[in-house]
Amino acid sequence: MKGYFSQLILLICISFLVGCGSLQEKRPTSKVNLNAHRSINSYQTRQALYSQYKDWQGVRYQLGGLTRAGIDCSGFVHLTFKSRLGLDLPRTSAMQARLGNEIRKDELQVGDLIFFRTGKISNHVGIYLEKNKFLHASQKKGVTISSLNNAYWKSNYWKSVRL
């Protein structure tokens, strides 16, 4: 029990140190298997993402969070890709933004990552669904689906990447 408690405290401390890209991170030493995502067709990916939304809808935003008690945007993307699509992405949005190939906004397909500049040193990340909608952990609404046509998201759009 004592070991479990120590691990829990360590996990909580680490969670506070990583957020939605607010900290710089070293490049990962192991390569991410970007082709694994391509092998899943768009229908299966869409179903997996909507299923994740159903399971996590409304879970509140918490900087550095990685559980149903609270989760941040990059943590949600990290967990979603790992649990639903079998792809291990880095934990922060800064590192996630370095993956894949940059694509134009009008080329978005289900499962692509969408990045927003939300502050001087912070970014926000979500996962494209369809019809200009994306799945993410919002500071105000928690895990939700938003529209890229929303004025806030439109004005803060930075880039999109395909893994």
Q: Where are the domains of the chain?
A: 2-19+33-162
Annotated active-site residue 136? The verdict is yes
∠ CA 32-56-155, nearest 5°, is: 75
State the catalytic residue, choosing from 20, 37, 78, 124. Answer: 124
Given 20, 37, 73, 78, which residue is catalytic?
73
pLDDT score for 3: 58
State yes or no: is 13 an active-site residue. Answer: no
Q: Which pLDDT score, from 0 to 100, does residue 19 have?
A: 47
Q: Taking residues 120-137, what's their average pLDDT?
A: 95
Choose the catalytic residue: 20, 37, 78, 136. Answer: 136
- pLDDT band at residue 147 under the 50/70/90 scheme: very high
Summarised one tens digit per residue, pLDDT across range 4-35 is: 444 544 444 434 334 454 433 334 433 344 44
124 is catalytic: yes
Q: Where does residue 147 fall: left (phi above 0), alpha (psi -120 to 50 degrees), or beta otherwise?
A: beta
Count of alpha carbons within 13 Å of 34, Cβ hemisphere only?
Answer: 11
Q: How confident is the model at residue 155 (pLDDT cuts 50, 70, 90)?
A: very high
Q: Which CATH architecture has domain 2-19+33-162?
A: Alpha-Beta Complex (3.90)
Q: Is the pLDDT of residue 112 over 50?
A: yes
